[in-house]
Chains A and B, each alone.
Chain A
Amino acid sequence: EPEVTQTPSHQVTQMGQEVILRCVPISNHLYFYWYRQILGQKVEFLVSFYNNEISEKSEIFDDQFSVERPDGSNFTLKIRSTKLEDSAMYFCASSVGGEQFFGPGTRLTVL
């Protein structure tokens, strides 16, 4: 069964450093998303991506964040200068327009 994959599973970084989180969506899906979940809190929408451009973003997705689809399979989330409060689980998801399928997540720890 096809699934969304994410790498790395766990990333530890120093405050102020740049990180890139990687995702491979399900191959025939058209819509891609990033969500985050701070420990013990709810899942929060960050950004959606369709047809090679951002279609929606939340207020969390500020200038420190960017997304890219560098080739036909990868979908990346970059945080330019990490802050302590960026520590969270980051989930990638994809869909054909209906239910969204989530990847296993990357746990980002900012020290």
Chain B
Amino acid sequence: GQNIDQPTEMTATEGAIVQINCTYQTSGFNGLFWYQQHAGEAPTFLSYNVLDGLEEKGRFSSFLSRSKGYSYLLLKELQMKDSASYLCAVRVPGNQAGTALIFGKGTTLSVSS
């Protein structure tokens, strides 16, 4: 089976730093993705990790430990517009390179002033 766990909700204030954790148990692993989803909108790509370590991209960083089945998304200098749902998704190996993403339930982040 496939299982991806994230906290349901988190709150933070403008300017702060927040870390959203994700743990996964999947039948194979071929990369981990973080997406942002505002209410009623499509997921938009934030980051991708396939090797262990930290990937930094502006205010957003993502970390992966494959041996622990663990990732986190770090958001710095929070802004009100960062209020959204953050989705952790694992790509599992399949027949072709373009394989399915298995999503977690998402973490709803509320940023207050």
Contacts and interface: CB of A to CB of B under 8 A. Distances in A.
Interface of A: 30-31, 33, 35, 41-45, 48, 50-51, 55-56, 58, 91, 95, 97-105
Given A91-B43, A102-B44, A104-B41, A43 B96 contact: no
Interface of B: 33, 35, 41-45, 48, 87, 89, 94-106
Given A98-B48, A99-B33, A99-B48, A56 B41 contact: no
Contact of B96 (A44, A56, A58): A56
Contacts of A95: 98
A55 B94 contact: yes
Contact of A102 (B43, B96, B105): B43
B42 A91 contact: yes
Contacts of A98: 48
A107 B45 CA distance: 21
B28 to A, nearest CB: 12
Contacts of A101: 45
A45 B101 CA distance: 7
